[in-house]
Amino acid sequence: MQQAPVQPSVIKRQPSAIYRVLGDRIFLAIVLLLALSIVALTLGLGYYLYLGGSQTINKEGFFGFLTGTTWDPALKLEFGIWPYVLGTIITSLSALVLSVPVALAAAIFTAEYAPRWLAGFINYLVDLMAAVPSVVYGIWGIFVLAPFLREAFYLPFFLWAAENAPWLSRYLGNPAGYGMFTGIVILSSMVIPFTAALSRDAINLVPAAQREGAYALGATRWEVMQTVILPYARGGIFAGAMLALGRALGETMAVAMVIGNGNILPYTLFGPASTMPAVIALELKEAVEDLHYSAIIGVGFYLFLIAFIVNSAASYLLNKLKVGSQRA
C-alpha cells in the first residue's frame, strides 16, 4: 500500500502589513534613536559642562580663565586654571615619552620575536593591564612606588645636588615622594597597554609578502623591521600613542593619589603638582561657593576641549587605518 504523500503545511496567514512594510522602518527608526544617544551624549557633555562653568568663565573671560595662575577658592575667589592645565600637559606628555618606546618594544617582541605561547601570555598581560582599575594603581603608588622612589632616587639625587650643584635644587623641589615625577611614572605605566595593543595590531597588518620580500633580499630581522615593518605600521603606532595620550589626559585617581596636589607655580620635578582631573575629583564635592562650583565644572569644560581634540584625532586615525577595530 502506498501512503498518500504528506502535504507540506502551507502558510495560510499572510503576515500583516505592519510586519512586512512598516517593520523595517520602525526598527530602523528605533535603532537610529538609540544610536543618536551617542551623538547626544558627546555633544551634551560639552554643552552641559560649558553651561555649568559659564558663571566663572564669563567672570574671568574665556582666555583669562585658562591662563590665570591663581586658584583661590577660599579668600579671593579668584579662579585661573593654568596650573592645572600645565600639570596635565606636562605629566601626560612626559608619560607618553616614557611609555611609547617601552610599549613599542613589547609590541615588536610579541609580534615578531616571541614564540606563540609567550606572545599569548604577554598579550593577555597587556589586556589585563588596561583593565586594572585606576585606584589599584593608586594604592600601589601611595604605599610602594612613592616611598621606593623617594629612598632610591629622590633623596640621594637631592642630597647630591645640594652639595655639588646648588643651582639645581631650585628645580628639584621637595623630595617627599608625592609629586610630579611620581605622577609621571605611574601615568606612564598605566598607558603602556594602549600603545602596545594598537602597535601590535598595526605590525600584524603588515603584508607577509613585503616582509618575506625583505628577508629574501638578505635583510636581518632588525633591517626588515626598520625598512619594512615600522614604516608600514607607523600610522597605527601613532594612533596608539594618541589614544594613550587621551587616556593620560583624563587619568584621575592614580594621579590624584600620588601627585601631591599643589597648585603653586612654578612646578618642580619632585615637588607637588596637580592636574585638571585631580582638582575636579578632589574639590567638587566640597565646593560651597557657587563660583567655586562653577569654576570646577569649567575645568571640566576645558578638559573636555583638550580631550575631545586628542581623542577625535586618535579615532579618526583608528578608523582610517583600520587598526584596533576589534578592541573596545
Partner 1 sequence: MRNLQARYTRDRLILLVVIVGTILAALPLTLVLGYALVNGFSSLNWDFFTKGPKPPGELGGGMAPAIVGTLVITGVGLLMATPFGIGAGILLAEYPDNKLNPTLRLLSDTLNGMPAILKGLLAYVLVVKAQGSFSGFSGALAMAFIMIPIIAKTTESVLKLVPWNIREAGLALGLPRWRVILSLVLPAARAGVVTGLLLATARAAGEAAPLIFTAFGNTLLTLNLSQPMDALPLRLYAYAISPYEDWHRQAWAAAVVLLGLIVLTSLLARWVTRGR
Please report, as residue ranges, which positions from 193 to 212 form the binding site for partner 1 (by CB under 8 A): 196
Residue number, 126 or 206, with CB nearest to partner 1 = 126
Sign (positive or negative) of CA dihedral 118, 211, 224, 213: positive
Interface of this chain with partner 1, residues 44 to 83, rule: CB under 8 A: 44-45, 48-49, 51-52
Residue number, 172 or 190, with CB nearest to partner 1 = 190
Backbone angles phi, psi at 72, to 5 degrees: -130, 90
Closest distance to partner 1 from the beta carbon of 94 (Å)? 16
Question: Over 195-248, what HEC string results?
Answer: HHHHHHHHHHCCCHHHHHHHHHCCCCHHHHHHHHHHHHHHHHHHHHHHHHHHHH
Residue number, 192 or 237, with CB nearest to partner 1 = 192
Residue 228-267 contact track with partner 1, rule CB under 8 A, x = bound:
---------------x--xx-xxxxx---x----------
Rule CB under 8 A: choose which of 192, 214, 259, 323 binds partner 1.
Answer: 192
The answer to whether residues 87 and 299 touch, using CB atoms and an 8 Å cutoff, is no
Residue number, 170 or 322, with CB nearest to partner 1 = 322
Interface of this chain with partner 1, residues 132 to 161, rule: CB under 8 A: 132-140, 142-144
Rule CB under 8 A: choose which of 131, 208, 216, 288 binds partner 1.
Answer: 131
Residue number, 3 or 325, with CB nearest to partner 1 = 325
What is the grid cell recorded at 230?
Answer: 615600522
Interface of this chain with partner 1, residues 274 to 293, rule: CB under 8 A: 277, 280-281, 284-285
What is the grid cell recorded at 50?
Answer: 560649558
Q: How far apart are CA 89 and CA 291, in angstroms?
A: 25
SS3 assignment, position 273: strand
311 makes contact with partner 1 (CB under 8 A): yes
Rule CB under 8 A: choose which of 6, 10, 39, 288 binds partner 1.
Answer: 39
Q: Which stretch binds partner 1 (CB under 8 A): 64-72, 75-83, 89-97, 300-308?
A: 300-308
Number of C-beta neighbours around residue 123 at 10 A:
19
# binding residues, partner 1 (CB under 8 A): 95
Q: Please state whether 324 falls in left (phi above 0), alpha (psi between -120 and 50) or beta.
A: left
| 249, burial (CB in 10 Å: exposed 0-12, middle 13-18, buried 19+) | buried
Number of C-beta neighbours around residue 30 at 10 A:
10
What is the grid cell recorded at 143?
Answer: 604605599
First to last CA, the chain: 65
Q: Which stretch binds partner 1 (CB under 8 A): 25-33, 61-69, 79-87, 208-216?
A: 25-33
What is the grid cell recorded at 175?
Answer: 623630595
Residue number, 172 or 233, with CB nearest to partner 1 = 233
Closest distance to partner 1 from the beta carbon of 293 (Å)? 9
Q: How far apart are CA 299 and CA 53, in angstroms?
A: 8
Rule CB under 8 A: choose which of 66, 93, 109, 235 binds partner 1.
Answer: 109
Which residues, in sequence order, are CB contacts of 311 under 8 Å at separation 6+? 242, 243, 246
Q: Which stretch binds partner 1 (CB under 8 A): 71-79, 150-158, 163-171, 302-310?
A: 302-310
Residue number, 125 or 265, with CB nearest to partner 1 = 125
